[in-house]
Chain A
Amino acid sequence: MNYAGIIITLAWRNLWRNHRRTLIMVAAISVGAWAMIFMTSLMRGMVNDMLRDGIRVLPGHVQVHHAAYRDDPSVNNLLAMTAGEVSAAMTAAGIERFTARVRVPAIISSERESRGITFVGVDPRQEALLDAIGSAIVEGEALSGPDDKGVIIGQKLADKLDTRVGKRVVVMSQDPDNEVADRGFRVVGLYAANLAVQEETYAFAGREIVQAMLRIGDGVSEVAVSGDDYRDVSQLLAQVSALMDEQDEVLPWQELDAYLGTMLGVMDGFVLIWVIVIFLALSFGLVNTLVMAVFERVREIGLMLALGMRPSSILAQIIVESILLLVIGLSVGNALAFASIVPLQDGIDISIVAEGMEMFGASSVLYPELQMNDVVLANIVVLLLGFLASLSPAWRASRYEPVEAITKV
């Protein structure tokens, strides 16, 4: 439209009337946008790392348990379906990344020490598909199959038990009739995990061997299934629920691990706050620039009004000018952010500053993660709030009395 054309022309030319002021503002917006996106991607990288690790302990974006299992993780609370039935159902539904585990509390004893642990009977091939912690073998070898008679323990636990690969340990638990169920295992491998407490807690053995030891037939306590994206599991959740016995409880990881789930939520809020805080700093400059611009142009605004241009068009002019300024600043800022994040994709070594961070589950290599929705959020926040911030100067400009404005010196 012709009318829109003149508004945009005027906004654009006016923007470049005071080069220096405009360039300073563009620089400020660029740096602000860069800081929003870059810092957010670092925070994302850190939290994602923690979350992935958290989920990796005994992974599965969606897990299935007996309804009472989470309160009482005992051998009495097994799933309605057997490992064989689960496997058949999953395969039939085209789900590949699943695993069925037996998981019970137990006591592990070496020749010297005893420790309480969580004893997990696994099919190592299935676990490997899910990238479980027990798969990261640092000494010895992995379990060969569900019928492997060895046990895999964490490095830390090996220290505590004063045992090593090749030595024998005894694992003791209860069968469904509350009778002692125990068995000797040879330590075949040691694994490493990011959290020391994980290395101390979990011991892995072949599922069939554990089932036999606990006298539970082909029963399992947990089924874990992974999808493509841990952030969006709703579809997977529905699919798995349909397959499993309705008495059993199918839950996403966020609910299984409230700490991690909350963390993701908190993180989203944190990103928004960060973006808004930076914007508030920017908005002072923006509003000031616009107020100055309007003030300098009182007479020509009066002239346009006197010639019959509508106040709304004056309003639009100032807002378009502000949006143009924001768009230019954002474009540069986004480009800077991408340019500075992409070379860091291989990770930033933060081991110097990260000592002690491992305690919280963070590793010492930080992988910045550029999430499209964060980038979109930052841009939308800046545009939207920028638009709101420019309303007041624009409104004032549109309210001038033409005659007074035109004769103002």
Chain B
Amino acid sequence: MSAVRCIDLCKTYRQGDQDIKALDHVSLEIAAKGFVCLSAPSGGGKTTLLNAIGGLDIPDSGEVWVAGQRIDQLSKGALASLRLQQIGFVFQAYNLIPVLSARENVEFVMQVQGVSKDGRREKSTAILKEVGLAGLEDRRPAEMSGGQQQRVAVARAIVSKPALVLADEPTANLDSKTSDELMELFVELNEHHGTTFVIATHDRRVMGYAKRLIKMLDGRIVDDINQRAA
């Protein structure tokens, strides 16, 4: 069973009197335990594709399957619980709740999932340490640098070990050293927990970690490279 399957996805946005094909007949299959990078120049359709896979946006046509389930026809409620239980998100635009501390942001998803207080605390402490934020647990987002905020977002996405992580430019605000640490963390999770990663990026350093590199341009897949022959 593949982790993600997209069949002939199309999504068109209207900007003024111009139609923009954000997704133009995209078909794609990502195996379980995959580690995929989506690379495209800005406006290439990465975010739109991730949103379709994450059940945040419904494509105009085509099918989206996640973990063997067709999701483009699910109700909003069913999509919400799919996102909550099975997918970890790092968004491109906006990631943290300003009134919550780093720890509380990391624990947010677990709290909504109903994880006990002790369980949450243990996991959030460990994950914040792994992303290099030990000691900053009680800071609010406004009291952290862009890179630190980004790491909190990553910590939240992976803390409850979801089957699928969708990360939209997760290293955008990070220096190269931190980027490497973060990617190594992803790789480790991928190898030890079998978490499937789909990472949108135009950072070459990030692409280097991927088992598979999918290149997009103007909403179409233009290249699909298997970087580490199995």
Q: Which residues of A contact B (CB under 8 A)?
A: 1-3, 5-6, 9-10, 13-14, 17, 299-300, 302-311, 313, 402-403, 406-407
Q: Pick the 3 closest A-B CB pairs, nearest first.
A: A308-B84, A13-B99, A308-B83
Q: Are A406 and B98 in contact (CB under 8 A)?
A: no
Most buried by B among A2, A6, A9, A308: A308
Q: A307 and B56 in contact (CB under 8 A), knowing A2-B114, A2-B115, A6-B108?
A: no
Does B77 lie at the interface of the complex (its beta carbon under 8 Å from any beta carbon of A)?
Answer: yes
Q: Is the interface of A mostly helix, strand, loop or mixed?
A: helix
A3–B93 CB distance below 8 A: no
B144 within 8 A of A: no
Closest chain-B Cβ to A396's Cβ sits at a distance in Å of 16
Q: Does B145 contact A (CB under 8 A)?
A: no
Report which of A10, A303, A310, A402 forms a contact with B99, defined as CB distance below 8 A. Answer: A10
* Contact residues in A for B97 (Cβ distance below 8 Å): 10, 300, 303-304
Q: Are A5 and B83 in contact (CB under 8 A)?
A: no
Q: How far does the Cβ of A372 sit from chain B's closest Cβ, in whole Å?
A: 38
CB B227 to nearest CB in A, in angstroms, measures: 30
Other A-B pairs beyond A303-B95, A307-B108, 15, CB < 8 Å:
A1-B114, A3-B111, A3-B112, A5-B111, A10-B100, A13-B99, A14-B99, A299-B94, A300-B94, A300-B97, A305-B80, A306-B89, A308-B109, A310-B80, A406-B94
Which chain B positions have C-beta within 8 A of A402?
56
Q: How far does the alpha carbon of A300 sit from the alpha carbon of B84 in the complex, in Å?
A: 16
Pairwise interchain contact A403-B57, C-beta atoms closer than 8 A: yes
Known: A307-B89, A308-B109. A302 touches B94 (CB 8 A): yes
Quick one: which of B197-216 are within 8 Å of A by CB? none
Interface membership of B61, Cβ < 8 A? no
Complex Cα gap A325–B97 (Å): 21
Q: Which residues of A contact B93 (CB under 8 A)?
A: 299, 406-407
Q: Is the CB of A406 within 8 A of B91?
A: yes
Interface flags for B99-142 (1: CB within 8 Å of A; 0: not) read: 11000100011011011110000000000000000000000000
Please give, as numbers and ranges, the residues of chain A lying within 8 Å of B104 by CB-CB distance: 9
B12 within 8 A of A: no
The answer to whether B112 touches A309, judged by C-beta atoms less than 8 angstroms apart, is yes
Asked if B111 and A6 make an inter-chain contact with CB atoms under 8 angstroms apart, the answer reads yes
Minimum distance in angstroms from A154 CB to a CB of chain B: 71
Q: Does B81 contact A (CB under 8 A)?
A: yes
Q: Tell me the bound Cα distance from A306 to B98 in angstroms.
A: 16
Chain B residues whose C-beta falls within 8 Å of the C-beta of A299 in the assembled complex? 93-94
**In the complex, are the beta carbons of A2 and B111 less than 8 A apart?**
yes
Chain B positions within 8 Å of A13 at CB level = 99-100
Roughly how many angstroms separate A309 CA and B80 CA in the complex, as a whole number?
7
Q: Name the A residues within 8 Å of B54 (CB-CB).
A: 306
Tell me if B85 is interfacial: C-beta within 8 Å of chain A: yes
**Cα-based distance from A299 to B98 in the complex (angstroms):** 10
Closest to B82 in A: A308
Could you tell me the distance in whole angstroms from the C-beta of A119 to the nearest C-beta in chain B? 78
Q: A2-B115, A308-B83, A403-B57 are in contact. Are A303 and B94 (CB under 8 A)?
A: yes
Contacts of A306 in B (CB 8 A): 54, 56, 83, 89, 91
A309 to B: closest C-beta gap in Å: 5
B27 at the binding interface (Cβ < 8 Å): no
CA distance A9 to B143 in the complex (A): 19
Q: Which of B80, B82, B95, B116 has the most CB of A within 10 A?
A: B80
A17 — nearest CB in chain B belongs to which residue? B99
Question: Which of the residues B76, B91, B112, B116 comes within 8 Å of A6, measured between beta carbons?
Answer: B112
A309 to chain B: which residues have CB within 8 Å? 80, 84, 112
* Residue B178 is within 8 A (CB to CB) of chain A in the complex: no
CB of B51 within 8 Å of the partner chain: yes
Q: Which residues of chain B are near A9, meaning CB under 8 Å? A: 100, 104
Contact of B114 with A3 in the complex, beta carbons under 8 Å:
yes
B117→A2 contact, CB < 8 A: yes
